Structures are given as C-alpha cells and as structure tokens.
C-alpha cells in the first residue's frame, strides 16, 4: 500500500490510539458505564478494551498486520458503541448527540471493514 494507504490507516487509527490512552489513564467514567450495562468484571473489561484500542490502533497506524488490527478494532467497537451510545434510551439533545456518536462509530466500523478486507 502506498503513501495514501499509510496516511489513511494512520488517520483511522488515531481515534483508537487516543481513546485507548485516555481510557487507560482515566478508566472510571467508562467503568461506570460498563457497570450500568451490567458488563461482567467491568474494570477488567475496560482495561482490556483500552489495551486493544491502543495496541491494535498502533499496529494499524504502522501497517503491522493491518487486517488483524482492523478486525480487532472492529470487534471491540461493537460493545463500545452499543454500551457507550444508547441513543434509544435518551431524549432531546442528549438523544441527538448519542445518535451522532453511534453513527460515527458505525462509520468507523465500515472503514475498519474496508481496511480489513484489503489484501
């Protein structure tokens, strides 16, 4: 893959690297959301998801096993999106904001599928 592929992967990976670092450094808000969704062992789940975002994000950015990295990120994005952005339980402005975040994550999921399907 050429320069544009490298830039595209790095840009796509940037949100996962940033969020992985943020959630490792300050897991409490995410742990609270996980507890509210009755995730088993929420502290461990949040740290594991953060490590996946950081590690697979770095792999994707550097082009190291990009199919594996994009698949790992896509898999971690499913529970993150459903638990983190339940717009169906909200109303008004909060519903609109959560729906926008949900749709943004769907777009990221689509981009990860596209990267993961490349040979």
| DSSP per-residue letters across 86-97 | -GGG--HHHHHH
Distances (CA, A) of 106 to 31, 35, 50: 22, 23, 19
- Number of domains within the chain: 1
pLDDT at residue 12 in the model: 98
47-96 pLDDT, tens digit per residue, is: 999 999 999 999 999 999 999 999 999 999 999 999 999 999 999 999 99
pLDDT at residue 118 in the model: 84
The answer to whether 85 touches 102, Cβ cutoff 8 Å, is yes
CA distance 39 to 52: 17
- pTM equals 0.91
What confidence tier does 119 reach under pLDDT thresholds 50, 70, 90?
confident
91-118 pLDDT, tens digit per residue, is: 999 999 999 999 999 999 999 999 989 8
- For residue 26, the enclosing domain spans 3-116
Structure tokens at 99: 């729906």
CA-CA-CA-CA torsion sign (67, 118, 3, 108):
negative
């Amino acid at each position: 893959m050429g320069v544009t592929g490298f830039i595209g992967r790095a840009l796509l990976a940037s949100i996962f690297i940033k969020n992985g670092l943020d959630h490792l450094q300050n897991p409490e808000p995410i742990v609270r959301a996980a507890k509210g969704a009755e995730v088993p062992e929420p502290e461990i789940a949040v740290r594991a998801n953060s490590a996946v975002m950081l590690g697979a994000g770095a792999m994707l950015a550097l082009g190291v096993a990009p199919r594996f990295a994009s698949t790992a990120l896509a898999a971690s994005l499913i529970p993150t999106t459903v638990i983190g952005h339940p717009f169906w339980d909200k109303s008004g402005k909060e519903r609109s904001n959560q729906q926008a975040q949900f749709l943004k994550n769907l777009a990221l999921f689509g981009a990860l599928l596209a990267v993961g399907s490349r040979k």
